[in-house]
Chains A and B, each alone.
Chain A
Amino acid sequence: MTIQFNDETFHGDFTFKNSDWAIKRFPFPFHEDSYMYSVNMEPHTSYRPGSVFERTFDVDEHYVSEMKDRARVLANDPLRCQSLPHMTLAGWDLVELIMEAKAREYPDLFELHKDGNRWRWINKPLGIDDTFTFLDESTLPYGPMEYITRQTQGDFAVLDQRDDNLWMDAGMVTTQADWSLDFDIGMNFFEWHAPVPKAHEMGIFVRALKFLLNIQQGQPARRLNWTMTVNPLLDTSPENYHKWGVMKQGLTMENIGEKQHLRVELQTFFRLPRSNALVFPIRCYLIRFEDLVTVPKWARRLHRVIRDLPEELATYKGFIDNRPLMVEYLSQFDDGSPTSDGIWPDDD
């Protein structure tokens, strides 16, 4: 499969657009007509050819433009990428994981040639052809984690594991749903999840941590998470809230279909072999409401989920004020007929 890469923006004139292919493979996150938190983990094994679950690290038509957007965000705010000194080895683990997976799964786009520790990495979409010495930082233009995550879609939290906890000790975070690496750096799993409502009393985090601590080499896991974003903004960071927060005002029945996006995160979890750290890639997929409702099942289900979502969750996810308008818009596409189980469209 050859991917036609879009030339598009995620700021300013917002020319981001999903092709019909991208709409059809969108990771719709709701498997039933209602939503509540759960530790909805499953093995990250290749599943459903063509879907975002097929490859270890999904590459799609937005790749080149997303990497340009990342470079732009980093130029404005270098603290979006940080790595505490003891995490360098984990960065090399990540270099190996991503390069090996991409070269194996997208041989037409990426190549990795090894001669002992001398590695040559070819990234055709971004026009990169670099030779470096594995585990020798001086041979790369950036630290290992920064180098490879400037070439990989999605945010990356690299978590050190010690004292039966996980610690946010490194990361590349430019496409986040309103959280800050610079704020969370060095925090443990319970500290950085403190703002999430309801989940604590449900015991979600204790169980989730236990699961994550036991993720083993060769057995990655994944889950989906979601929120709402007005305009196709990858960077909805607290640092820039003054720029994007105001965009949530001014939605109307006329423009909501174009401006309102469902934002889905494909979260994966891999044990890193040399450092025993855990890497947590968070890949963001955006779809505007008017594209989403072209899939009748998704339109009916999203209407029901948003309508019935507990108020605390709509508040936490930042769309409580726009919820009535969303429900009104989506209700046009819900004839009340039943929806089938699972996340996939009905027509296949």
Chain B
Amino acid sequence: MSAGTAKLNVTVAEVKPINDLVTRFKFVRTGGGDLPTFSGGAHTVVEMQDGDITRLNAYSLMSNPADRGAYTISVRRDDQGRGGSKFMHNKVKEGMEMVISNPVNLFSLDLRAKKHLMLAGGIGITPFMAQMHQLSMMGGNFELHYSVRTASLGTYAKELAERYPGKVHIYHDDQKEAIDLKTLLANQPLGTHVYVCGPKGMINWVHSTAGEMGWPREAVHSEEFLAPASGKPFEVKCAVSNKIVQVGEHQSLLEALEAAGIDAPYLCRGGACGQCETNVIGYDGKFLHYDHWLTDEQKAGGKHIMPCVSRFEGKTLVLDR
């Protein structure tokens, strides 16, 4: 299979600032026509032509999955990041043509669940917005607990509370409100599935608390996309394509391979899905594994690397690409 996913040509139909940090983007199919249906929790990979650099960032689709007329995403500006969110905020204007991927779902609902308990932190609200659309159409049983910094930074909090009365609970950090997770989990009906999307600390907290309380591993779902970390530049030799590739300070190994014209598979670009796993033929140095995919033994073994987020420091690295 070729790298990545099938592409969609879209036009930016609306750019709408939601608050100081978050801007919403609406895409329609260039030249008209329906976009593919998707399932709640799916993301799309947005291609950004930023000067000489092609950036590819994954964003959760937040619109109603049944609405094939348009997709919407929300992007939180990350001033410390490598530039993808800044590009979206500063460069993307209404009427601009862009390329996005077909929807990919790595955070889908377990449709067997008797109840869906959703825990969101900050911009982690977006996949739940599509899931709630889907569940309310199907008559599904759900409840959202959404933690925000302040009321003014509570992206979509007010409209969600209005749209789903009685099902949405908002917690404001600045008012010292916090999700009482133990009590919440203790009071769920049998057959409930828990979903969490937010900062890493929140995800770990939910997994460990649920685990300690005896929740089955399969009933707790999370999604966290890592942004690729910056780091020291390094050099990699690609044995199959017979190319030497330089990886820049603010560039991921995957991006460097792509820039060198090497066909490298990917899906999430965030260390979660496993698609870009690459065999290491030889190395002299130290791996900086940042992914959620490889096991600890694999990370220690030095035979595999996930080029979307992980890096290398040392003299030589030879990959099977």
Contact = CB atoms under 8 A, between A and B. Distances in A.
A274 B37 contact: yes
B112 A86 contact: yes
A210 interface: yes
A276 B39 contact: yes
A160 interface: yes
Contact of A218 (B41, B102, B108): B102
Contact of B104 (A86, A96, A217, A221): A217
Nearest to B218: A163
Contact of B1 (A162, A221, A275): A221
A135 B265 CA distance: 35
A219 B5 contact: yes
Interface stretch (B143-151, B267-275, B304-312): B267-275
Interface in A170-217: 210, 214, 216-217
A217 B106 CA distance: 12
Per DSSP, chain B at the interface is loop
A43 interface: yes
Given A43-B1, A217-B36, A217-B38, 15 more contacts: A41-B1, A87-B111, A162-B110, A163-B218, A214-B267, A216-B6, A219-B1, A219-B5, A219-B102, A273-B36, A273-B37, A273-B103, A274-B134, A275-B111, A276-B109
B246 interface: no
Given A216-B102, A274-B65, A161 B108 contact: yes
A41 B2 CA distance: 12
A274 B39 contact: yes
Interface in B1-45: 1-2, 5-6, 36-39, 41-42
B57 interface: no
B190 interface: no
A89 interface: yes
B222 interface: no
Interface in A255-302: 273-276
Size category of the B interface is 20 to 34
Contact of B102 (A96, A163, A217, A274): A217
A336 B291 CA distance: 54
B102 A89 contact: no
Nearest to A163: B218
Interface centre among A162, A210, A221 (most CB of B within 10 A): A162
Contacts of A221: 1
Contacts of A273: 36-39, 65, 103
Contacts of A214: 267, 273-275
Contacts of B103: 217, 273
Contacts of A86: 111-112
A219 B104 CA distance: 11
| 8 smallest beta-carbon distances between A and B, as pairs | A218-B6, A86-B111, A276-B108, A273-B37, A218-B102, A276-B39, A86-B112, A276-B105
5 contacts: A43-B1, A214-B274, A216-B5, A273-B39, A273-B103
Interface string B250-282: 000000000000000001000001110000000
Nearest to B277: A210
Contacts of A216: 5-6, 102, 104, 267
A197 to B, nearest CB: 27
Contacts of B111: 86-87, 89, 160, 275
A1 B112 CA distance: 44
A218 B5 contact: yes
Contacts of B109: 276
Contacts of A274: 37-39, 65, 134
Contacts of B110: 162
Contacts of B218: 162-163
A161 B42 CA distance: 14
B240 interface: no
A218 B36 contact: yes
A299 to B, nearest CB: 33
A118 to B, nearest CB: 15
A85 to B, nearest CB: 8
Contacts of A217: 5-6, 36, 38, 102-104
B207 to A, nearest CB: 14
A89 to B, nearest CB: 7
Contacts of B275: 214
Interface in A50-107: 86-87, 89, 96
A47 B41 CA distance: 33
Contacts of B186: none
Contacts of B38: 217, 273-274
Nearest to B39: A276
B138 interface: yes
Among B6, B39, B105, B273, the most chain A Cβ lie within 10 Å of the Cβ of B39
A161, A163, A221, most chain B CB atoms within 10 A = A163
A26 to B, nearest CB: 26
Nearest to B1: A43
Interface string B186-222: 0000000000000000000000000000000010000
Contacts of A41: 1
B249 to A, nearest CB: 30
A190 to B, nearest CB: 15
A221 to B, nearest CB: 7
A160 B111 CA distance: 9
A160 B1 CA distance: 22
A326 B112 CA distance: 48
A181 B103 CA distance: 30
A218 B6 CA distance: 6
